[in-house]
Amino acid sequence: MLNNIQIAAAIAVSFLCTAFLRFLPFLFFRKGKQIPLFIQYLGKVLPSAIMAVLVIYCLKDVGTGSWQSGGAQIAAVLFTAVLHLWKKDTYLSITAGTIFYMILIHFLLV
């Protein structure tokens, strides 16, 4: 069991690592310097790739559960995608998609 000093140390190390990683780009890419093309490319490609991986991860167990659960997951993903394409608002899409999914599983799995 961890004591308070160990917990504080773990939090401090986590904070320092996170802060270091957040400030690192500002050390390498000073204001006024050109950002390398590879980094610009990653900035354009990675957000979509990460979202695709997250969607695949969320849907990986669709065929193994009940049809209601899988149907709710697929319906929520489609709802979220359509809403995002329509409104172009990430926060709205994620929030509304989550609420829609919760409503579906509440009524389908009761």
* Helix (H) or strand (E) segment spanning residue 20: helix 4-28
* Sequence ranges of the domains in the chain: 1-31, 34-108
Other beta carbons within 10 angstroms of residue 34's beta carbon come to 7
Residues 74-92: tens digit of each pLDDT: 899 999 999 999 999 989 9
Collect all residues with Cβ–Cβ distance below 8 Å to 94 and sequence separation of at least 6: 80
pTM, to two decimals: 0.59
Query: CB–CB of 92/83 below 8 Å?
Result: yes
Average confidence score pLDDT of the chain: 88
Tally of CA atoms within 13 A in the half-sphere of 65 that contains its CB: 14
Cα 96 vs. chain centroid, distance in angstroms?
Answer: 15
